[in-house]
């Protein structure tokens, strides 16, 4: 596979993941972090970091809007729920380093 085709396939996979996460507003970021170790905020940060590496200025909010499909504050108001004590405990346990 040539580099351009690989790049296009990777970009298509990213867009599909982004769109899937936009549709699955029922899935909370804390659940994603607890199960996979990353969430929408991580994905938006990675996008922003990739832009910065290429000399493109992008704010944290701009990166988040690309992933969330709307301003982050709006997404939180519409879809984010308060983390349960169980979710918080699972998060704390999964992010403990020896």
HEC string for 28-72: CHHHHHHHHCCCHHHHHHHHHHHHHHCCCCCCHHHHHHHHHCCCH
pLDDT per residue as tens digits for the range 62-90 = 999 999 999 999 999 999 999 999 999 99
DSSP 77: H
Nearest-angstrom CA–CA distance, 89 and 8? 39
Q: In the chain, what are the domains?
A: 3-80 (1.10.3340.10)
Share of the chain above pLDDT 70, in %: 97
| pLDDT band at residue 95 using 50, 70 and 90 as cut-offs | confident
How far apart CA 29 and CA 21 sit, in angstroms, is 10
Evaluate whether 67 touches 21 at the Cβ level (below 8 Å).
Answer: yes
**pLDDT for res 94:** 83
Whether the full predicted model's pTM is greater than 0.85, yes or no, is yes
């Amino acid at each position: 596979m040539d580099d351009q085709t690989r790049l296009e396939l990777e970009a298509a996979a990213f867009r599909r993941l982004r769109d899937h996460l936009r549709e699955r507003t029922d899935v909370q970021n804390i659940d994603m972090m607890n199960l996979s170790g990353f969430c929408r905020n991580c994905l938006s940060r990675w996008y922003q970091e990739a832009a910065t590496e290429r000399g493109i200025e992008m704010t944290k909010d701009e990166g988040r809007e690309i992933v969330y499909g709307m301003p982050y504050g709006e997404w939180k108001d519409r879809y984010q729920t308060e983390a349960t004590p169980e979710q918080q405990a699972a998060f704390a346990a999964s992010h403990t380093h020896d």
